[in-house]
Chain A
Amino acid sequence: MKHTISVLVQNEFGVLARVAGLFSGRGFNIESLSVAPTLEPTISRMTIVTRGDDRIIEQINKQLHKLINTIKVIDFTHKDCVAREMALIKVSAEEGTRAEVLRITDIFRAKVIDVAPRCYSIEVTGTSSKVDAIIELLRPMGIKEVVRTGPVVLARGARMGEK
């Protein structure tokens, strides 16, 4: 099963390597990983999407927690949360497909952020499945490149993950 785990770490040199090394060294997989500082600049948040059975996920949570630089580990899988991912998609926009590309962009409330004579770059945000869906629809138009961030998550309501 897919799990989204948020990890608050001290923003120190080598922390990313520790987390990545933990996953590779123990044979856990990382589907996506995004990292950026929090409001408190000495603390970063990593959002990791991983897969595994309950035993593996429990190990991942515990092992992450065991790292000295880890302040907090939150597994969002069974928590009420909002998740968003962003993708930038470079798709060809020829005479015959341009209108369709724009229509799809519109339906997904995505944005054209760069226009070249024969191609558009599109920005879309949403759940991972929404991003998957727009990519599938644009694929027949001729996608040249896709960059995805992997999801970031936030607990719903007034609760905070950070403190």
Chain B
Amino acid sequence: MEMTGSQILLECLRQEGVETIFGFPGGAVINIYDDLFDSPIHHILTRHEQAAVHAADGYARATGRVGVALATSGPGATNTVTGIATAYMDSVPMVVITGQVPTPLIGNDAFQEADIVGITRPVTKHNYLVKDIKDLPRIIKEAFFIARTGRPGPVLVDFPKDVQVATDKFHYPDKVNLPGYKPTYSGNARQVEKAVEMILGARKPVVYAGGGVSSPEAGEGLTQLAELIQAPVTTTLMGMAAFPKKHPLSLGLLGMHGTFFANMAVTESDLLIAVGARFDDRVTGKVETFAPHAKIIHIDIDPTSIKKNVRVDLPIVGDLRDVLDKLVKRLSEENEGVSGLIDETVNWRQKIEAWKEEQPMRYEPSDKEIKPQFVIEKIREMTRDDAIITTEVGQHQMWTAQFFDFSQPRTFLTSGGLGTMGYGLPSALGAQAAFPGRQVIDISGDGSFQMNSQELATLVQFNLPVKIAILNNNYLGMVRQWQQLFFKKRYSQTIMEVPIDFVKLAEAYGAKGLHASHPDEVEATIRRALEIDGPVIMEFKVAREENVMPMVPAGKSLNEMVLAS
């Protein structure tokens, strides 16, 4: 049977198991939207294409499946770029489909033409322009395959209008043929053997886990390894939810706003086992003095991550689950070695416990003003373990990482690599669309919230009961903190002069708005919000000049952190 390009696209999506997509229509995708009208695929109309992509990203991070976004050509396509770059930096599997002007017009500066393949080349894992309907099923097949395999990432498919209306017989390939794309899944046995040796010889081992462990499978492997060798585990933002904070071996966050004990442990360690992490500068601080006494084992599926920023003594390329399983299996056979290791590292764990006691993660409580950290602790207390937390970017994001005890994989969605303000609300929307029954909470700042606040309308339209906690300090707080500490308190353009009535804003969209300005009101506000069966903004007027501490000033070593301001 002959089908049009746009029908073929939707059929391909269906065969990939896509149930929900996020998008925004326009002239260059109007045919696809016409076919969507009768399609079983659920489409969520965001109010901005950036939000559609973040929503697909949130959907993907929460489920582990490929998120899908759809936008029109030109401005629709360019609006997706921030969302794509966000997903690229955090290795999120995603397929973004953009309309394009008809192929004969490409290159003519046609109405709403933008070279989105050129624009997104550096922020996609791969991208395509569909020039011929005959290539369409293969391209969609490859796009999904590339997005979800190896180190995951976003793939963009640019789909010209004339190809959408062209017709062809439909056949969906069941295999891809990509001679240049063969990720290494199986960790090299000899390298694993060397790792076993290094681990058994260590006296101050630390595991450093990044976004690679965010899947439940990899997280389980990580936990098994850490427990077997009794090594403390520190994580990045991306790896955070994979290893329960309450676990006795947990050191919490590493890096610029990491815990005292995580930063000290890494600085003193003699063996750093990096698992699915990429030694980002926010994690390493001054790279020359990062983990100065440690041998480094680096396990990652992406060879380019290895030795990019730091020296590595033992690289192991492979799927984390595979490598961790092999390591655990081999170590389990070394009964004596492992019990020797555990004996020999008693002092190390004691030292870490002493650090934890000396400088726990803490803040100065107050009964007069709302401390932002207090709100975060309360939200944790009052939500279920499987609640999904998203954040925007800024102080509130760091406090969430510091004070929220994550305990389940895929429950912390935050823009780590790109640090995109405006990510939290639409990604919460996407996560809620994936899990209508779960609690989904965007912990937000007053500045970031305004970057995608239009998505309140989407929440209301699609009955997505996301709860938004705005920690309102009336500042672009994180930038203000830097200005306070490094620019003589010259608060250049970080004071949000216009006070916004967030309660009214919520109501204007048909959502509920709640407000708290005293610590006594915090609990009741959260309780009410959680009881309401729809989207709610909770505005918390928080201590305005609270700082995120500890802090490693940019360019300093991890052990040069400032503990209090």
A interface residue numbers (CB < 8 A to B): 9-10, 13-14, 17-18, 21, 25, 55, 58-59, 62-63, 65-71
User: Contacts A14-B129, A17-B118 given; 12 further ones with Cβ under 8 A?
Assistant: A10-B179, A13-B129, A55-B307, A58-B307, A59-B304, A59-B307, A62-B303, A67-B180, A68-B178, A68-B181, A69-B180, A71-B180
Q: Tell me, rounded to whole Å, the shortest Cβ–Cβ distance linking B434 to chain A.
A: 28
Residues of A within 8 A of B303 (CB): 62, 65-66
With both beta carbons as reference points, the residue of chain A lying nearest to B121 in the complex is identified as A21
Q: Is residue B117 within 8 Å, beta carbon to beta carbon, of the partner chain? A: yes
What does the 1/0 interface line of B464-489 toward A look like (CB < 8 Å)?
00000000000000000000000000
Residues of A within 8 A of B126 (CB): 68
Counting residue pairs across A and B whose Cβ atoms lie within 8 Å, the total is 38
With both beta carbons as reference points, the residue of chain A lying nearest to B178 in the complex is identified as A68
B interface residue numbers (CB < 8 A to A): 117-118, 121-122, 125-126, 129, 131, 146, 178-181, 302-304, 307-308
Decide: B180 and A68 in contact? CB cutoff 8 A. yes
Residues of A within 8 A of B307 (CB): 55, 58-59
Q: Tell me, rounded to whole Å, the shortest Cβ–Cβ distance linking A76 to chain B.
A: 19
With both beta carbons as reference points, the residue of chain B lying nearest to A72 in the complex is identified as B180
Decide: B304 and A66 in contact? CB cutoff 8 A. yes
In the complex, which of the residues A9, A25, A66, A68 has the most CB atoms of chain B within 10 Å of its own CB atom? A68
Residues of B within 8 A of A17 (CB): 118, 121
In the bound assembly, the distance between CA atoms of A70 and B181 in angstroms comes to 8
Provide 19 A-B residue pairs closer than 8 Å at the C-beta atoms, listed in order of the A residue: A10-B179, A13-B129, A14-B118, A18-B121, A21-B121, A21-B122, A58-B307, A59-B308, A62-B303, A62-B304, A63-B304, A66-B302, A66-B303, A67-B180, A68-B125, A68-B146, A69-B180, A70-B180, A71-B180
Decide: B122 and A71 in contact? CB cutoff 8 A. no
Residues of A within 8 A of B146 (CB): 68
Residues of A within 8 A of B179 (CB): 10, 71
In the bound assembly, the distance between CA atoms of A68 and B118 in angstroms comes to 16
Residues of B within 8 A of A70 (CB): 180
Residues of B within 8 A of A21 (CB): 121-122
Q: Tell me, rounded to whole Å, the shortest Cβ–Cβ distance linking B176 to chain A.
A: 11
In the bound assembly, the distance between CA atoms of A69 and B128 in angstroms comes to 11
In the bound assembly, the distance between CA atoms of A10 and B181 in angstroms comes to 11
With both beta carbons as reference points, the residue of chain A lying nearest to B311 in the complex is identified as A55
Q: Tell me, rounded to whole Å, the shortest Cβ–Cβ distance linking A52 to chain B.
A: 13
Q: Can you list the 10 inter-chain pairs with the closest CB atoms, starting with the nearest?
A: A62-B304, A68-B126, A71-B180, A70-B180, A25-B122, A62-B303, A68-B181, A71-B179, A21-B121, A66-B304
Known A-B contacts A69-B180, A70-B180, A71-B179; A14 and B117 likewise in contact (beta carbons under 8 Å): yes
With both beta carbons as reference points, the residue of chain B lying nearest to A62 in the complex is identified as B304
With both beta carbons as reference points, the residue of chain A lying nearest to B122 in the complex is identified as A25
With both beta carbons as reference points, the residue of chain B lying nearest to A22 in the complex is identified as B122
Residues of B within 8 A of A59 (CB): 304, 307-308
Residues of A within 8 A of B117 (CB): 14
With both beta carbons as reference points, the residue of chain A lying nearest to B146 in the complex is identified as A68
Q: Tell me, rounded to whole Å, the shortest Cβ–Cβ distance linking B343 to chain A.
A: 38
Residues of B within 8 A of A71 (CB): 179-180
In the bound assembly, the distance between CA atoms of A67 and B178 in angstroms comes to 11
In the bound assembly, the distance between CA atoms of A71 and B304 in angstroms comes to 16
Q: Tell me, rounded to whole Å, the shortest Cβ–Cβ distance linking B40 to chain A.
A: 31
In the bound assembly, the distance between CA atoms of A25 and B303 in angstroms comes to 18
Q: Tell me, rounded to whole Å, the shortest Cβ–Cβ distance linking B160 to chain A.
A: 13
In the bound assembly, the distance between CA atoms of A59 and B302 in angstroms comes to 12
Residues of A within 8 A of B125 (CB): 68
Q: Tell me, rounded to whole Å, the shortest Cβ–Cβ distance linking B140 to chain A.
A: 15
Residues of A within 8 A of B131 (CB): 13
In the bound assembly, the distance between CA atoms of A18 and B126 in angstroms comes to 9
Q: Tell me, rounded to whole Å, the shortest Cβ–Cβ distance linking B196 to chain A.
A: 25
Q: Tell me, rounded to whole Å, the shortest Cβ–Cβ distance linking A28 to chain B.
A: 12
Q: Tell me, rounded to whole Å, the shortest Cβ–Cβ distance linking B292 to chain A.
A: 18
With both beta carbons as reference points, the residue of chain B lying nearest to A63 in the complex is identified as B304
With both beta carbons as reference points, the residue of chain A lying nearest to B150 in the complex is identified as A66
Q: Tell me, rounded to whole Å, the shortest Cβ–Cβ distance linking A120 to chain B.
A: 40
Q: Tell me, rounded to whole Å, the shortest Cβ–Cβ distance linking A69 to chain B.
A: 6
